[in-house]
Amino acid sequence: MPDAASSDPVAMGWMTGSPPPAAAQVRWDDGSMWRFPQWRWGFSHMRALVPAAAIPRAGAVSPLPLALRDDLDDVPLTTLAGQRMTWRQSLAATYTDAIIVLHQGRIVYERWFGVTRPDTQHILFSVTKSFVGLLAEMLIAEGRLQEDVKAEDYVVELKESGLGSATVREILDMRTGLGFAEDYVAGQTGLSDVQRMSIAGGWMPRLAGYDGPDGHFAFVASLGQSGPHGGDFVYRTPNTQALQWLVERVSGLSLATLIRDWFWQPMGMEADAAIAVDRLGTAFGGGGLMASLRDLARVGEMMRLGGRWNGRQIVPEPVVARVLRGGDPAAFAHVQYPGNPDGSYGSQWWHRAGGQAMALGVHGQAIYVDRAAGVVIARLGSHPVASNRGNMGVTIPAFDALVAAL
C-alpha cells in the first residue's frame, strides 16, 4: 500500500478541476469511494456522496481552551511489533486525517492532514455505535427500556429475526447469536454480509436482479440466528441497528433528532453534524455519523467529566458510571484484540483493563477517554485496512506513550 504521504488526497489530486477529470473522480455509483486511496478524500466528504440527515448545532460554542505544547511530536514509543518510532511518526503510520489531545480539559495537541479541516464532517463509522449505546443506557436509566426484556417485546417486527429473542442487554453488549459475519474483505463468490448490509442501506448501488431487503431495519429483520444468545462477545453491526430500532420505537424520535436534542445542541458543538440515511430516511446507527474532530473531543471530555458539559448534565452520572464499567472480560478474552488482551466490550463502547474507554470506528476513527490521567484523544483516519486490528498495534502504544508524557 502507498504510505500516508504518497496517498495524501491533496497530493493525489482527487476531485480537483471543474469538473474533475474522470481519473481524479471519487464516486458513489462506481464504488470508487470505497477504494483506497480514493477513500482518503471520500471519508472527509461523505456528506457529498451519500444521503444524510442534518444534525444542526445551536447557541454559543462551548469553549475548548488552548494550552498547546511543542514537545509531544518527539515522544518515543515502541509498537507491539517492536518497531521504535515517535508520536509524530505514529500518526503517519496509522494514516491519521486529524487528531486532537486534551489534558485536563485543555487542547495540548492538534494536527490536521490532507483535506481534513476543523469544520470537516468526517465519517465516524462505528464511533456512531457508542452514541446509540449512550442513548439506550439513558433510556434504561429512565425506565423506558428494560435491559432484561426481549427485543421482540419492543419491536414486533424483530420476532422472526435472529435478534427477536435477545435481550436489550445482550444486544447492547453484542453477546447475541446473530447470523452475520462482520468481514470487510469481499468474498470470492457472491455478496458478503457486509456488502448486503451496504446495499440495503444505500451505501452501495442496488445490483440488477438483486432482491435483498431494502433499508436498515428490513435488513436486520431478515437476519437469522446462528447460535445461542448470552455467550461470548462477537462484533456484529446489525446488533446496533436493532438497538437503534428499539431506541427510536421507545422514544418516538429519530436517531438524528435524538443526537441533536440530547447531545449536539445542549453541548454547544462547534459545527453541524449529519448522519447517513437509507432510501427510507432511516439513519445508519451502525456507522453513519459525520462530525468534526473538536466536537468528538467534546464528547470525550463530557464522558471524562461524568456526563457534565457546557453547564449541563448531558448524560446522567450513573449512566456514565455504568458505561465506563465495561462488559465481561471473560466474554471478550477470545477476541485477542491487539493492545487490549484483558479488556471488554459493553454498552457499545470498548474498554481497557486500566479503565480507559474507547469509541472506535473502522479505518482509525476513535474517541479515547482516560479519566485517571485526565486525557481525552479524538482521531479521524483513513487507514487502508478497515479493521482496527490494522492500526491498534501502533495506536495503543502511541496513546500510552503520550499519556505517560502528559
Active site residues: 126
Calpha distance 401→46 (Å, rounded):
32
* C-alpha cell belonging to residue 132: 446509540
In which residue are the cell numbers 459475519 written? Answer: 181
Q: CA 192, CA 332: separation in Å to the nearest integer? A: 25
Per-residue b/e over 334-367, b at no fewer than 16 CB within 10 Å? ebebbbbeebbbbbbbbbbeeebbbbbbbbbbbb
Shortest CA distance to 74 belongs to which of 66, 82, 84, 65? 84
The single-letter code of the amino acid at 20 is P
Helix (H) or strand (E) holding 129: helix 127-141
Report helix, strand or coil for 45. Answer: coil
* Alpha-carbon separation of residue 84 from 78, 87, 286, 364, 385 (angstroms): 4, 10, 35, 20, 21
